[in-house]
A and B are shown apart, each in its own frame.
Chain A
Amino acid sequence: MTSEGTRAALAPASSDQDPTDAHVVSRALSGSQAAYREIVRRYQRPLLNLIAQIVRDRAEAEDLTQEVFVKAFRALDRYDPARRFSSWLFTIAHNHALDRLRTVHGVTISIDSDEVPDVPSAPVASPADLAERARLADALGDALGRLRVEYRAAVVLRYQEDLTQQEIAEVMGVPEGTVKTYLHRARKELAREMAARGWGPGGRGDGV
């Protein structure tokens, strides 16, 4: 939970004065509505991002995010405080999104990268840099969308949500070695795809 984006998303909630997740969960279980709202405020962004990258449809991702919170709150009294709360929530979100893919779309779905909006998360130096970033984001987002869903989820959890491989293994319910394999193969496939699109030495992605 410490990537640039997640850090930005959680910044107001993770200062020294703010309660830890375990404390917030404890208060929610005691009936505090403010604590429930705090959980929503902290986790709506990371969960939405993960789900959107899995299902590749923003509107559906928002619906699924709502459903994930309903599921999570329903199971909150069974949450094991020995686990990280974020991993627990990501597990529910990951499984719920995969269930939706399997039941509604089938596991492999066609991808339209335009459905996931590109919003710059950091200021850029110049219009040229902005344009290059947009081109790179387009190509990479499109390539990411063509990956197997397991690879895509692993990449998002590792490089956007900054989870460790062990945490990703816990979220995805697979051994840590499998996560390593997913990440390695994902990177290889993405590299192949990007090179084919003209990125790399001597190219700036204009070759497609």
Chain B
Amino acid sequence: MTEPDWGERATRWLEADRREHAVEAEAAFGAVMHAIARVEPTDDLEARIWRATSGVRLRLRAIRLLRLVGAGAAAASLAGATLYVASGVVVALSVRLLSGLLTGLVRAFVWLTLAFSEGVDLWSFLGRAGQRLSSAVFSSQAAAALVLFELLGALAFYVLNRVLAREKELSP
């Protein structure tokens, strides 16, 4: 089937338009519009655009580099500070735990010996053990360390969430 010539296309459009057949006129007009050629760029337009945008592209590159360096420096500082604080807390806690453990063992041994010699029921024994354990764990240092790690965890989760959301938006 041969395509109608351009004059016939124009006639179809104008006839449909005259008869107020909107859908037909719309389709016929679309066919007529193909007669108008698109404006094609000159051979050097791409090169001109490339030159014109070089400053912007370089600036964006520099900004990205600065952002990376800034983020790296911030991450390194945070990691260093965290390690410094954490190592201090961990060492203090370890020493405290070790000395507490040794002292507790000696006291427990003495207390157990006395308790067995005097006759103590199971509930008194468990209550005393629980009391000792809680006083060892819930020190102010341990609580501070716990809060610090919670905060760091929440921050890391937030950042990760933002990064993943951005990646998801930009992925094809």
Neighbouring B residues of A199 by C-beta, 8 Å? 7, 10-11, 14
Complex: A75 Cα to B49 Cα, angstroms = 16
| A129 pairs with B5, CB closer than 8 A | yes
Q: A interface vs B, CB < 8 Å?
A: 4-6, 9, 19-20, 22-23, 25-26, 29-31, 33, 36-37, 40-41, 44-45, 48-49, 52-53, 58, 61-62, 65-67, 69-70, 73-74, 76-77, 81-82, 116-122, 125, 129, 132-133, 135-137, 140-141, 144, 155, 159-160, 184, 187-188, 190-191, 194-195, 199-201, 204-205
Pick from B11, B34, B57: contact of A73, CB below 8 A. Answer: B57
Task: Assess whether B14 is in contact with A200, with CB atoms less than 8 Å apart.
Answer: yes
Residue in B closest to A74 when the chains form the complex, CB atoms? B56
Q: How many residues of B contact A (CB 8 A)?
A: 45
Which residue of A has the minimal Cβ distance to B61? Answer: A31
Residues of A near B2 (CB, < 8 A) are 125
Number of cross-chain contacts by CB at 8 Å: 155
A22, A82, A117, A159 interface centre (most CB from chain B within 10 Å)? A159
How far is it, in angstroms, between the C-alpha of A58 and the C-alpha of B49 when the chains are bound? Answer: 15
Q: Given the interface contacts A52-B39, A117-B37, A160-B38, does A40 sit within 8 Å of B170 by beta carbon?
A: no
* Given known A22-B170, A140-B36, A155-B33, contact A37–B41 (CB-CB < 8 A): no
A73 adjacent to B17 (CB under 8 Å): no
If A129-B5, A187-B17, A191-B14 touch, whether A66 touches B49 (CB-CB below 8 Å) is yes
A-contacting residues, B1-51, CB 8 Å? 2-3, 5-7, 9-11, 13-15, 17-18, 22, 25-26, 29-30, 32-42, 45-46, 48-50
12 A–B pairs (Cβ distance < 8 Å), ordered by A: A22-B171, A36-B53, A44-B49, A73-B57, A117-B40, A129-B5, A136-B9, A137-B36, A140-B36, A160-B36, A187-B26, A194-B10
What 6 new A-B contacts, CB under 8 Å, besides A117-B39, A187-B26, A200-B11?
A: A31-B61, A132-B5, A132-B7, A137-B37, A188-B17, A201-B14
CB of B64 closer than 8 Å to a CB of A: yes
Known contacts: A66-B48, A159-B30, A160-B38. The answer to whether A81 contacts B56 by CB under 8 A is no
Residues of B within 8 A of A33 (CB): 57
Partner of B14, one of A76, A117, A137, A195: A195
Chain A nearest CB from B13 CB (Å) reads: 7
Known A36-B53, A201-B15: A119·B37 in contact at CB below 8 Å: yes
B127 on interface, CB distance cutoff 8 Å = no
CA distance A23 to B39 in the complex (A): 28
Q: Mark B139-167, 1 if CB is under 8 A from A, else 0.
A: 00000000000000000000000000000
- Complex Cα distance, B68 from A29, in Å, reads 13
Residue of B nearest to A19 (CB): B172
* Distance, CA A58 to CA B11, complexed state (A): 30
CB distance from A20 to the nearest CB of B (A): 4
Contact status B57-A159, CB under 8 Å: no
Q: With A33-B57, A36-B53, A140-B33 as known contacts, state yes or no: A44 contacts B38, CB within 8 Å.
A: no
Is B169 in contact with chain A by the CB < 8 A criterion?
Answer: yes
B37 with A62: CB separation less than 8 A: no
Q: Are A4 and B34 in contact (CB under 8 A)?
A: yes
- Encoded as 1 (CB less than 8 Å from any A CB) or 0, chain B from 76 to 88 comes to 0000000000000
Q: Does B75 contact A (CB under 8 A)?
A: no
Query: Are A119 and B40 touching (Cβ within 8 A)?
Result: yes
A132-B6, A132-B7, A205-B10 known; A73+B37 contact, CB < 8 A: no
Q: Which residue of B lies closest to A5 (CB)?
A: B38
